[in-house]
Amino acid sequence: MKTKAGFQILVVDDDPSILEMMKFILNSYGSVTVADNGTDARNLFHKFEYDIVLLDFLLPDTNGLELLKEFKEYHPRTEIIMITHVRDVKTAVQCIKEGAFDYLNKDFVEDDLISIVLRAAEKLKSTKEMMYLRSEVERLTEQDFIVGYSEKMAEIMNILDRAAETSATVLLNGESGTGKELAARYLHNHSKRADKPFVAVNMASIPDNLVESNLFGHEKGSFTGALKTTYGKFEIANGGTLFLDEIADLKFELQSKLLRVMQESEIERIGKSEPIHVDVRIIAATHRDLKELVTAGEFRDDLFFRLNVIPITLPTLSERIEDLPLFVNFFLKRYNRKYGRNLKVSDEALSALSKYEWPGNIRELENLIARLVAIHSSDEIFVEDIPIDYQITDTVLDSGGDSHRDRLKAATDSFERSFILRVLEKEHWHHENTALKLGIHRKTLEYKVKKLNLAKIIDQRRRDN
């Protein structure tokens, strides 16, 4: 049996021979501190953080059970092993009820001690793993990262592969839906840290007043509502990668804190004065121009330079439009499997999709394919089946007829169609309310619905919603 040394262990017993023996045996499993009375133990416990405490039930100045309750309340994740006398089975059981991990008889042999400590260590490890699992909003089940044929992506893969060999900070830039998070996961999965946690935090989705505690953790009672001691994302990601998404949303005051943590590899939990060492690789992402924010005084330049060690900008979908068929097929496969279907997309439909701007990039394409697979009744998607919003661009302009007038008409019709559809959708397909919002009479709206051939699409959308 082996375990990595590194646990913080506290042994509390008034018998010096027990303290000495435990220290001797447990030294290879972590760093061992001893206390021979309750007062010292309490002081140590409040000052330092222990993973495992071996606690004598009978202490000269304190009742072990009281101390156990106090410790469990203060730091619930510490595993406490009670040291009891053979006759004390009843008290031992009571201790377990109060949250002790297990108990060890005072006449133990070396193997008993090692085995119980290793079991506690195993539990500690799995608690940490559970926390890490929970902390990830949703682990992507399919991690395929499509590279495609564009020169830009070939270049990016080159940088990603080289960056994966190091622990250098990477700043991912790119519009929404271009695959920043996927690129971050790719980096992690191809690095030496791959078997350690990848933890993602989105700065934009955490309320301002909770960001600090989310990143660095807090001690029980350090602020109103801090009912338990909680690990921050930095500690959960220890040894692995921390993905700081939407970094531009990090408040100015916290920017300097983050910078300090990155420089010193140490965090301070709120309410705890001793710093904790962490080894975390940072990948940050933003869809905004950080340099511009620095100029505007909204983002600290020193943090920007610290993050911008390896800058990578992911191309928009229209900058790599040659990859669109690849993505369409990839998402078709994914959603066909999910919905038990066998949908195809016709070549004409594919080329129509290639003319769209894709402001929402790959995510927007994925959503469209998912929606089509879910609701389309026949087995093939033709141009007419593509929702009108995706055809407003060149397709419409090119197919509107010969004269400028015809093309303009086609374009305005198309705009009107998608505009009316959006308002209808917002108003839950209620015609009266939609007309009111649009500032037209209900009769006019009905006329437009007819003239613009909207009835079929409205039906489809309603079913879709």
Ligand X SMILES: Nc1ncnc2c1ncn2[C@@H]1O[C@H](COP(=O)(O)OP(=O)(O)OP(=O)(O)O)[C@@H](O)[C@H]1O
Binding mask 44-73 for ligand X (x = CB under 6 A): ------------------------------
Rank residues 182 and 343 by Cβ distance to ligand X and give the closer one. Answer: 182
Q: Would you give the distance in Å from CA 303 to the centre of its chain?
A: 21
Kindly identify the residues of this chain, within the stretch 347-366, that bind ligand X according to CB under 6 A: 362-363, 366
Restricted to residues 198-257, the positions that interact with Mg ion (CB under 5 A) are none
Contact 117, 9 (CB under 8 A): yes
**Least distance (Å) between residue 367 CB and ligand X:** 9
Nearer to Mg ion, 181 or 357 (CB): 181
CA–CA distance, 193 with 282 (Å, rounded to integer): 12
Q: Which is nearer to ligand X, 99 or 148 (CB)?
A: 148
Residue 286 has phi, psi (to 5 degrees) of -160, 150
Smallest distance, Å, CB 140 to Mg ion?
11
Exactly one of 70, 181, 249, 385 binds Mg ion (CB under 5 A); that residue is: 181
- How many alpha carbons lie under 13 Å from residue 298 in its C-beta half-sphere? 11
Tell me which stretch binds ligand X (CB under 6 A): 44-52, 125-133, 176-184, 222-230: 176-184
**Contact partner, 58, from ligand X, Mg ion, none, Cβ < 5-8 Å per class:** none
Q: Which does 173 bind (CB under 5 to 8 A by kind): Mg ion, ligand X, none?
A: none
Q: Which stretch binds Mg ion (CB under 5 A): 115-123, 163-171, 178-186, 254-262?
A: 178-186
Given the rule CB under 6 A, which of 36-44, 95-103, 170-178, 343-351 is the region that contacts ligand X?
170-178
Answer yes or no whether residue 179 interacts with ligand X by CB under 6 A: yes
**Partner interacting with residue 363 (select from ligand X, Mg ion, none; CB below 5-8 Å by kind):** ligand X
- The one of Mg ion, ligand X, none whose footprint includes residue 382, by CB under 5 to 8 A per kind, is none
Rg (CA), the chain: 30
Sign of CA dihedral 383, 384, 385, 388: positive
Q: Segment contacting ligand X (CB under 6 A): 144-152, 191-199, 207-215, 417-425?
A: 144-152
CB 292, min distance to ligand X, A: 17
At a CB cut-off of 8 Å and minimum separation 6, what does 134 contact? none
Of 26 and 314, the one with the shorter C-beta distance to Mg ion is 314
| One-letter identity of residue 320 | R
Q: Which does 341 bind (CB under 5 to 8 A by kind): ligand X, Mg ion, none?
A: none
Task: Report the partner that residue 366 touches, choosing among Mg ion, ligand X, none (CB closer than 5 to 8 A by kind).
Answer: ligand X
Stretch that binds Mg ion, among 177-185, 251-259, 274-282, 436-444 (CB under 5 A): 177-185
Place of tokens 């038990």: 340
CB of 180 to Mg ion, least distance (A): 5
Give the nearer residue to ligand X in terms of CB position, either 371 or 442: 371
Q: Which of 188, 193, 287, 417 binds ligand X (CB under 6 A)?
A: 287
Tokens, residue 169: 């900070």
Distance CA 149, CA 161 (A): 17
Question: At its nearest, how many Å lie between ligand X and the CB of residue 198?
Answer: 13
Assign residue 457 a region: left if phi > 0, alpha if psi is -120 to 50, beta otherwise?
alpha
Q: Count of residues binding Mg ion (CB under 5 A)?
A: 1
Name the residue nearer to ligand X (CB basis): 128 or 363. Answer: 363
From 179-187, 236-244, 321-329, 357-365, span contacting Mg ion (CB under 5 A): 179-187
Query: Is residue 177 a contact residue for ligand X (CB under 6 A)?
Result: yes
Q: Which is nearer to Mg ion, 229 or 286 (CB)?
A: 286
Residue of the chain from 72, 74, 118, 145 that contacts ligand X (CB under 6 A) = 145
* Tokens at 37, concatenated: 């009375």
Nearer to Mg ion, 11 or 317 (CB): 317
Comparing CB distances to ligand X, the nearer of 180 and 272 is 180
Query: Rule CB under 5 A: which residues touch Mg ion?
Result: 181
Query: Rule CB under 6 A: which residues touch ligand X?
Result: 144-146, 174, 176-182, 287, 362-363, 366
